[in-house]
Structure 1
Amino acid sequence: MLQRAWTVSYGELVGLLLLTPVHVLMVVILLGAGMAMLWRARRPRDVYLVDYGCFLGEPHHRITFAMAVEHAHLMTSLIDNESASFMVRLYERSGIGEETSVPDSFRYMPPEQGIEASREEAELVIFSAVDKALARAALNPDGIDALVVACSFTTLTPVFADAIVNRYKLRADVQSVNLSGMGCSGALICIGLAKSLLQVAPPGRRVLIVATEILSSMFYAGTKREMLVPNVLFRMGAAAMIMSNSPERARFRLGPVVRTLTAAQDRDYRCAFQEEDDEGVTGINLSKDLPAVAANALRRNITALAPAVLPASELLRVAFSFLGHRFLGGRAEERCYRPAFHKVFQHFCIHPGGRRVLDEVQRGLGLSDGDMEASRMTLHRFGNMASSSLLYELAYIEAKRRMSKGDRVCMISFSPGIDCSSVVWECIKPAADPENGPWAGCIHRYPVKLHRQILKRTHEQQEHHMRPIKN
């Protein structure tokens, strides 16, 4: 009896042992699936750029070099001849071409700087950019869940975000943010904000970003040279982007977003400063230290960005180069190894704040003339349109049919502060009709040889327009 009981128990035990591997496998699978679900739930969502649109001025918005010179010298009640001549010389070296746009308010004598002029300009450029972004994304306005608007120097009541809600009848539960004072990094700061919103939102949510600068309220009617520079460089423009946390119909995947602020240093804080001159006229004082300060901020930003984008081999080379200079007594004239960013990124969009700013960035990152082509051509064709300029540069690359699936784009911009921001994109679907954008009708003329054009304009046009002033 005892032996039989033992035999039964032994058989049951054998049966249990035979089933154990199956049970173990099922437990492993269930645990693995649970861990995967937990990881996916806690992992930040990918964020995408669905599409974008840019304002394109009409022919009557165009201001040529000759028109700008004549306009400057006719405003004798506001700007003396010496200041007008200074702006002419600056214009000659700026890299700005003959087809940039200014608002109608600039054509008055003196320029119109009232609230109504600012509102008319804002509605013109913002609504045009949003219309194009919605059309390219094949999206109805009621599909927008959040709205972020960046405009630095002009804030009206109601704010521009409310004007967009009213125009497109966005839903009552739409989240809206209106940023001011962010300068030319405004678009990239908005992208960082949208990323934070979308990573914690349910799948399928969309954010509309609008970046612009309103010139009608920015015109400086004084004689201080440092404050006359924005009159020459800034032009009318706006860009709109639709971002989502769903890859459906998306064209770019968002990568690292890095923002570096150096405002703790007094020189950096005051290098681009809105203030009144000695006569009480308000303007933006651009210090001569701006290129050097921007270069320092760029170095800090790239130092923070590099670990997220560079391969291990490049990081090791940088580390060994630094240690060699730090501890092995490298010669002072020898520079540390500069990472080969052109091997990581196929395209660069650098804020076209002016020829000197672009020169500093090119030298600092070791970029080729080809890497800088989109930035310099955007400065030539459209001027400095503040933070929206970067989307015009992206449109240039696409209009040239240079964007391919898997290409990576690095965007870099600067703002007063100094604020240096960088954003990385990866193309997942090139544009179906890349020439249907702000470069339509003129992309075949680019790139142009800037230095030869500037030299020719200096000798021919300056002589023609300066002679009557001297008489």
Structure 2
Amino acid sequence: MAGQSQRQAFLNRVASAVPQHDVHDAFVRFASTLLADARHEKLFRRMADRADIHHRYSVLAPATDPSSPSVDAHGFFRRGSFPSTSARMRRFQAEALPLALTAVGRLGLGPAVQGTTHLIVTSCTGLYAPGLDLELAAALGIEPSVERTMVGFMGCYAAFNALKLARHIVRSDPDARVLIVNLELCTLHLQETSDLEQILSFLVFADGCAAAWVTGEPGGLALDRFRTVLLPDTADLITWQVGDQGFDMYLSGKVPGAISHGLRPVLPEILDGAVAAEIELWAVHPGGRTVIDAVQSALELASGTLDASRRVLAEFGNMSSATIMFVLERLMAEAVTGQRGIALGFGPGLTAETLLFHAA
């Protein structure tokens, strides 16, 4: 039993992929036309300029004609005729596997991927069965008997739950080879609305996929400790409901303030006795510029500490559960052995998931 308690799990590799279509500018143009109030349109334009997002990618090609009644080239989101939830799920099913295979291929595992013993898939933007987990196993040549787990509808912090599970698996079975796939097609859930706050929430979301390989073999990032913090009186600030026309996202403008206020008193618990100045690698889920700013201000972090998160936000937007893995991918490329790090993600609850790690 003593030997089991000392086993360590390592995030050996992370790879990412996004669809080919950059839709950010097209969305900003289209969203402006949804706002009948000229003051709201002006405010939206100002917020879009301040969002620090330059690119967001989608499985849907953007419309090239600014006067088009649709945000995309093929009329999936046509004004007055937005698709039903079932139509969105059919599109999710058609697009999910190719993007997932691209991300897994970039791990560079080659034939070793066929030795996967456990497959974990997270998504809060699409559901179908037989699902992506079975399709991936078949396409990658993994044994059909592989242990599969789907983590669904946990939102932006779901990758932490996948990593927790992978850590438990490896610590109980040192020969385990865990493949994690975090896939989100957020742009399939655009809503036709004139509500400014809702349109602003759509401004940050995008499509993306991350793949990760977790084993007991030293290398990459050692997964040291997880901690979940539920911020009080915040349950209504982030919601994600299944509606008749896609999934309905609500992201309150109060979220950054709640995060800033809620993190301060629990920081000693999250850092497990360390202080922020001792942490060299910071991976904060880039839920938006104001979220990153809130964390930096609340924890009194030096300028530049959260640059990896800011770069991911600027280049890709918020891809829900996949996003924190994009940040970790960048940190892993620059990390020096022995450096200590922390990852933080936020989602419905309002929940803060945290991970302490070090570069192996």
Q: Is the 1:297–1:420 contact (alpha carbons within 8 Å) kept by the matching residues of 2?
A: no
* CA distances 1:105-124 after superposition (whole Å, capped 9, x unpaired): 66143526522321233223
Q: Is the 1:49–1:242 contact (alpha carbons within 8 Å) kept by the matching residues of 2?
A: yes
**Distance 1:301-1:153 versus aligned 2 partners, 3 A rule:** farther
**Distance 1:159-1:370 versus aligned 2 partners, 3 A rule:** same
Q: What CA distance in whole angstroms lies between the structure 2 residues aligned with 1:276 and 1:145? A: 32
Q: Is the 1:221–1:281 contact (alpha carbons within 8 Å) kept by the matching residues of 2?
A: no
Three-state SS of the structure 2 residue aligned to 1:417 is coil
Three-state SS of the structure 1 residue aligned to 2:106 is helix
Matched AA of 2:248: G
Match of 1:254 among 208, 223, 238: 223
Match of 1:207 among 154, 160, 178: 178
Matched AA of 1:290: V
**Distance 1:299-1:158 versus aligned 2 partners, 3 A rule:** farther
Aligned partner of 2:194 in structure 1 is 223
- Summarize the alignment of residues 122-141 of structure 1 with structure 2, pairs less than 5 Å apart: 122-133=96-107, 135=108, 137-138=109-110, 140-141=112-113
Q: Is the 2:88–2:246 contact (alpha carbons within 8 Å) kept by the matching residues of 1?
A: no
**Distance 1:206-1:299 versus aligned 2 partners, 3 A rule:** farther
Q: Relative to structure 2, which stretch is displaced further, 410-419 or 285-294?
A: 285-294
Aligned partner of 2:295 in structure 1 is 361
Aligned partner of 1:268 in structure 2 is 234
Aligned partner of 1:159 in structure 2 is 131
Q: What CA distance in whole angstroms lies between the structure 2 residues aligned with 1:424 and 1:184? A: 18
* CA distances 1:58-109 after superposition (whole Å, capped 9, x unpaired): 3xx12353x3333335xx6xx3444665543331121101x33122166143
Percent same amino acid among aligned pairs?
Answer: 21
**Distance 1:301-1:125 versus aligned 2 partners, 3 A rule:** farther
* CA distances 1:383-439 after superposition (whole Å, capped 9, x unpaired): 11122222222333455xx321212221111011111111122212xxxxxxxxxxx
Q: What CA distance in whole angstroms lies between the structure 1 residues aligned with 2:320 and 2:246? A: 22
Q: What CA distance in whole angstroms lies between the structure 2 residues aligned with 1:194 and 1:426? A: 17
Q: What CA distance in whole angstroms lies between the structure 2 residues aligned with 1:86 and 1:368? A: 30
Q: Relative to structure 2, which stretch is displaced further, 155-164 or 191-200?
A: 155-164
Structure number having the greater helix percentage? 1
Match of 1:54 among 16, 21, 37: 16
Q: Which runs of 5+ in 1 are unaligned?
A: 1-37, 311-338, 429-471
Q: What CA distance in whole angstroms lies between the structure 1 residues aligned with 2:242 and 2:192? A: 11
**Distance 1:171-1:55 versus aligned 2 partners, 3 A rule:** same
1:242 and 2:201 are equivalent in the alignment:
no
1:306 and 2:271 are equivalent in the alignment:
yes
Q: What CA distance in whole angstroms lies between the structure 2 residues aligned with 1:84 and 1:127? A: 39
Q: What CA distance in whole angstroms lies between the structure 1 residues aligned with 2:288 and 2:115? A: 37
**Distance 1:272-1:144 versus aligned 2 partners, 3 A rule:** same
Matched AA of 2:139: R
Matched AA of 2:9: V
**Distance 1:219-1:155 versus aligned 2 partners, 3 A rule:** same
1:407 and 2:326 are equivalent in the alignment:
no
Match of 1:96 among 31, 53, 75: 53
Q: TM-score, normalised by structure 1?
A: 0.66
**Distance 1:47-1:139 versus aligned 2 partners, 3 A rule:** farther
Structure number with larger C-alpha Rg = 1
Q: What CA distance in whole angstroms lies between the structure 1 residues aligned with 2:217 and 2:6? A: 12
Q: Is the 1:103–1:215 contact (alpha carbons within 8 Å) kept by the matching residues of 2?
A: no
**Distance 1:280-1:377 versus aligned 2 partners, 3 A rule:** closer
Q: Which runs of 5+ in 2 are unaligned?
A: 62-70, 78-82
Shift in Å at residue 44 of structure 1? 4.2
Shift in Å at residue 191 of structure 1? 0.6
Shift in Å at residue 56 of structure 1? 4.1
Larger relative contact order, structure 1 or 2 (CA cutoff 8 Å, min sep 6) = 2
Aligned partner of 2:64 in structure 1 is none
Shift in Å at residue 282 of structure 1? 5.4
Aligned partner of 1:29 in structure 2 is none
**Distance 1:237-1:281 versus aligned 2 partners, 3 A rule:** closer
**Distance 1:390-1:114 versus aligned 2 partners, 3 A rule:** closer
Three-state SS of the structure 1 residue aligned to 2:248 is strand
How many residues are paired up? 340
- Summarize the alignment of residues 47-196 of structure 1 with structure 2, pairs less than 5 Å apart: 47-58=9-20, 61-65=21-25, 67-73=26-32, 79-82=34-37, 87-97=44-54, 99-104=55-60, 107=72, 108-111=74-77, 114-133=88-107, 135=108, 137-138=109-110, 140-196=112-168
Q: What CA distance in whole angstroms lies between the structure 2 residues aligned with 1:388 and 1:146? A: 19
Shift in Å at residue 269 of structure 1? 1.1
Shift in Å at residue 359 of structure 1? 0.9
Q: Is the 1:254–1:426 contact (alpha carbons within 8 Å) kept by the matching residues of 2?
A: yes
Shift in Å at residue 212 of structure 1? 2.3
* CA distances 1:205-263 after superposition (whole Å, capped 9, x unpaired): 1111111221243212222233223311011211111001233xx3221111111224x
Q: Is the 1:349–1:394 contact (alpha carbons within 8 Å) kept by the matching residues of 2?
A: yes
Measured on the aligned residues, the alpha-carbon RMSD in Å equals 2.5
Q: TM-score, normalised by structure 2?
A: 0.85
Q: What CA distance in whole angstroms lies between the structure 2 residues aligned with 1:118 and 1:86? A: 32
Shift in Å at residue 293 of structure 1? 2.2
Matched AA of 2:191: Y
**Distance 1:281-1:389 versus aligned 2 partners, 3 A rule:** closer
